[in-house]
């Protein structure tokens, strides 16, 4: 968490730098441009416009709502990329789903990478230098690889030559970005390793991925134990042995959940661990329903 807070603080500092009209950064030769290229900046959503030439014009509403729910809980994990048009004015290059979902949940700012005029070579140098650092987590490395491919227009083979890594290594990192955002966050926070992530990629169903992720955390499973669980799950589509024992919910919890459901007007679910801890899940059907639930919980209704 400390690492995330530090990055956000840096992003806010760069945001202030970009709001100085007397020192507007327009090219890589400008003062402080080196502090911008390759770094994450917190930008106001209101200062960003969508690309009118974006080939994708329709976005699945349900998928956007799911992404918005993830962002509400975890924040924006993968920054968007924008192009600087003018002072405090930007245009989306990539990440329109993240941009739209952030608007849905009412965020005012979003983490972004900013492309400025003639920064191609500087960006490549900054990204390659960043990859060589020793303290990067697997997801940070994956994102850097993806940016080099997308923004410098490199193939995996060309990227392999530039950074001196095997193409298979690069491919393994890139595959991590297909994991559920919750699992990616777990990797960034050090709760599981790249080996765990590589095992989970072999599960197509997201919910099953998350079920095993929870078991990795709860039981401190090794990579080998995780791989075994995945093999059991993928053999014939059966539940892995570790999931066969259901933990019964105590009567007091059941009664409490019933009261919650009646009060909130929606079916509340509860999951309990062997140690007695657990979590409540409160579903909502729309933004209006979410606001209704919020008022009830606050006692304003």
**If you count them, how many residues does the chain have?**
301
Q: To which residue do tokens 């070579």 refer?
A: 121
Q: Indicate if 96 belongs to the active site.
A: yes
- Nearest Cα to 180, choosing from 159, 154, 202, 201? 201
In the set 42, 44, 66, 96, the catalytic residue is: 96
DSSP state, 27? B
Q: Which tokens in the block code for residue 38?
A: 């390759």
What is the C-alpha separation between 211 and 215, in angstroms, rounded? 7
What is the C-alpha separation between 137 and 253, in angstroms, rounded? 38
CA angle 139, 142, 146 (to 5 degrees): 140
Q: Which tokens in the block code for residue 212?
A: 């095993």
Query: Rounded to 5, what percent of the chain is helix, strand, coil?
Result: 55, 10, 35
Give the three-class secondary structure for 268.
Answer: coil
Residue 243 exposed, middle or buried by CB count within 10 Å (0-12, 13-18, 19+)? middle
DSSP assignment of 145-194, as one string? HHHHHHHS---HHHHHHHHT--HHHHHHHHHGGGS-HHHHHHHHTTSS-H
Which of the residues are catalytic?
96
């Amino acid at each position: 968490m400390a690492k995330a807070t530090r990055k956000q603080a840096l992003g806010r500092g760069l945001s202030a730098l970009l709001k100085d009209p007397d020192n507007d950064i327009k090219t890589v030769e400008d003062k402080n441009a080196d502090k911008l290229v390759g770094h994450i900046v917190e930008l106001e959503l209101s200062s960003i416009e969508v690309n009118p030439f974006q080939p994708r014009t329709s976005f699945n509403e349900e998928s956007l709502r799911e992404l918005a729910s993830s962002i509400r809980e975890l924040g924006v994990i993968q920054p968007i990329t924008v192009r600087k048009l003018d002072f405090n004015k930007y245009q989306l290059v990539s990440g329109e789903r993240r941009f739209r979902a952030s608007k849905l949940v009412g965020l005012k700012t979003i983490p972004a990478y900013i492309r400025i005029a003639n920064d191609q070579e500087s960006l490549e140098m900054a990204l390659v230098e960043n990859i060589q650092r020793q303290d990067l987590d697997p997801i940070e490395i994956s994102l850097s690889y993806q940016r080099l491919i997308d923004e410098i227009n490199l193939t995996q083979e060309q990227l392999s030559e530039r950074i001196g890594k095997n193409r298979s290594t690069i491919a393994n990192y890139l595959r991590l970005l297909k994991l559920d955002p919750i699992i990616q966050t777990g990797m960034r926070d050090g709760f599981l390793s790249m080996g765990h992530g590589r095992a989970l990629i072999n599960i197509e169903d997201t919910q099953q991925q998350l079920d095993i992720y929870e078991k990795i955390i709860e039981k401190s499973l090794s990579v080998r134990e995780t791989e075994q669980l995945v093999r059991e799950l993928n053999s014939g589509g059966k539940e892995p042995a570790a999931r066969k024992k259901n933990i019964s919910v105590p009567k007091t919890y059941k009664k409490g959940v019933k009261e919650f459901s009646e009060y909130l007007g929606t079916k509340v679910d509860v999951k309990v661990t062997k140690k007695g801890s657990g979590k409540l899940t409160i579903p909502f059907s729309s933004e209006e329903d979410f606001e209704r639930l919020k008022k009830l919980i606050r006692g304003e209704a």
